[in-house]
Amino acid sequence: MKARFLVLWSVAVIAAAAAFVAHISLRHHTVQLGYEVGQARRVQRRLIEQRRLLAIEAATLRQPERIETIARGHLQMDVPEPARVVPALRDRTERRVAGRVR
């Protein structure tokens, strides 16, 4: 009887220890995943902010006044005289006169 009790008690202790180790392992894995999710969210926030700043910069660079200033100042460009404009045909029926982009 004592031997049977000792065997059952040993099995119970081993099972409890295995359950404890499994619980600790799963808890460690959960905490590790939490840290990884936090890191991924920080990266996501940084990338969203960077995208917002780049969109603002792109909008600033596309301003017509800025483009015209660069064209006139650095590139010495000017609006052509109407006599120098040669229209390009889109269709055989449609002819458009070149001019300023609106």
pLDDT digits (tens, 9 = 90+) for 38-72: 999 999 999 999 999 999 999 999 999 999 999 99
Spatial CA neighbour of 87 closest among 99, 71, 102, 74 = 99
pLDDT at 86: 87
DSSP string over 61-82: HT-HHHHHHHHHHTS---PPPG
- Give the pLDDT band (50/70/90) at residue 25: very high
Annotated domain spans of the chain: 2-78
Q: What is the pLDDT of residue 11?
A: 96
Cα separation, 23 vs 100, whole angstroms: 72
pTM over 0.75: no
Higher pLDDT, 92 or 9: 9
Which pLDDT score, from 0 to 100, does residue 101 have?
58
